[in-house]
Amino acid sequence: MRRNSRVVRIGGVKIGGAYPIAVQSMTKTDTRNVSETVSQISELEDAGCEIIRVAVPDREAAEAIKEIKKRIRIPLIADIHFDPRLAMLSILNGADKIRLNPSNIEDKEWIEKIARLANERNVPIRVGANLGSFRKKPDNVIFALVSTVLNEIRILNDANFDNIVVSIKTSDVLQTIAANRKIAEVIDYPIHLGVTEAGPLEESLIKSSAGIGVLLMEGIGDTIRYSISDKPIKEVEAAFTLLKSLHLRERGITIVSCPTCGRCEIDLFSLVKRVKKDFGNVKVPVKVAIMGCVVNGPGEAKDADIGIAGGKKSGVIFKKGKIIKTVSEENLYSEFKKELEKLIEEKSNSS
């Protein structure tokens, strides 16, 4: 059962409550370079990214938010550390949310100013903690992380601000799970999930899916971000794949394919790659099976909307387990593509 959290609005996206778990990413460009940043955000929008975060290291980056906002469609989060003036400037320039740790700002008057302006503009603040929040590693990491977040919340509450999103991340999967379980017991603010600094693609996919997946299955989490040392579009693709696999979001192509064995007599790997390349940006949910032989073909994949099962220099195309045509291997993909395009059009028209 999904944890019952309060609802927070980030621009045009609502998170928490019964709203869908939102997919976030962060640009890897210099925010001051508006054209490059907008270009990357546009690519992420096309991939389905619903909230984007940008780094705001200085005044020029904060000023760039105004122009970036004019040219994108999804809500923008300004990521700020230490300097309260950048928080104020980012809000004034149209940021839909700011990421800020209030305890990094020593002057409480600044916290009150930020809270006042954020309240006026209905801009949420994300607070949180990770191991970088401590000068030296604490003896009890979980207790320290949770205590730090509660202190961040208390600082904002004391400034009459409670439009808050919470995040606790570490690069350790088990610590991330344990700390989020603890904080979820004592607050009702929406929680943003991720395993921070999770590494390159292969490592991050495993670590992030394990950490985020366990928490989502326990009903914890309202937004997610994969942290991958690679192109940000891979973060979005991975996030939606996880949500689809847990039946939390139904979106786009889901490929069911066998690992192949000695029975396979078609080039299944290239078929999988072609389907991903040609249909990766489809928005309607479609389950596609690509199977190497009749053993794993229509029978095992009969719940797929459409599929291929290979044979000797040929293959069959099936829908919901029923064979609709047999095709030579050289024409198999082109015929399958036609059938899949037709199915996508039908689903799009009926949605």
pLDDT reported for residue 96: 98
Exposure of 341 in the CB half-sphere (CA atoms within 13 A): 7
- Between CA 147 and CA 253 the distance in angstroms is 41
Contact 162, 170 (CB under 8 A): no
- Between CA 216 and CA 32 the distance in angstroms is 35
**295 token code pair:** 């053993």
Element of type H or E holding 267: none
**263 token code pair:** 């029975």
- Within the chain, what is the greatest distance between any pair of CA atoms? 75
Closest CA to 59 of 84, 27, 28: 84
What one-character-per-residue DSSP string does 277-320 give? HHHTT--S-EEEEEESSSTTSTTTTTTSSEEEEE-SSEEEEEET
Per domain, the residue ranges of the chain are 8-245, 253-350
Is the pLDDT confidence value at 300 over 80? no
Is the pLDDT confidence value at 345 over 90? yes
- 57 backbone dihedrals φ, ψ, rounded to 5°: -85, -20
Which comes out higher in pLDDT, residue 107 or 133?
107
**231 token code pair:** 């192109």
Cα Rg, the chain, nearest whole Å: 23
pLDDT reported for residue 264: 81
Q: What is the pLDDT of residues 123-144, one digit of tens each?
A: 999 998 887 777 778 889 999 9
**Mean pLDDT across the chain:** 93
pLDDT reported for residue 296: 66
- Does the domain spanning 8-245 belong to CATH 3.40.50.2300? no
Interior CA angle at 245 toward 298 and 281, to 5°? 85
Is the pLDDT confidence value at 113 over 80? yes
DSSP annotation of 239 reads H
33-47, 220-234, 283-297: lowest mean pLDDT where?
A: 283-297
pLDDT reported for residue 338: 95
Identify the three-state secondary structure at position 227: coil
Identify the three-state secondary structure at position 161: coil
Judge if 8-245 and 253-350 fold alike in CATH terms: no
Is the pLDDT confidence value at 297 over 80? no
Q: What is the pLDDT of residues 10-59, one digit of tens each?
A: 999 999 999 999 999 999 999 999 999 999 999 999 999 999 999 999 99
Is the pLDDT confidence value at 233 over 80? yes
Q: What is the pLDDT of residues 306-329, one digit of tens each?
A: 999 888 878 889 998 889 999 998
**111 token code pair:** 């916290």
Which comes out higher in pLDDT, residue 45 or 107?
45
Exposure of 332 in the CB half-sphere (CA atoms within 13 A): 28
Is the pLDDT confidence value at 349 over 80? yes
Residue 331's alpha-carbon distances to 115, 242, 279, in angstroms, are 63, 33, 18
- Does the domain spanning 253-350 belong to CATH 3.90.1150.10? no
Is the pLDDT confidence value at 114 over 80? yes
Identify the three-state secondary structure at position 52: strand
DSSP annotation of 220 reads -
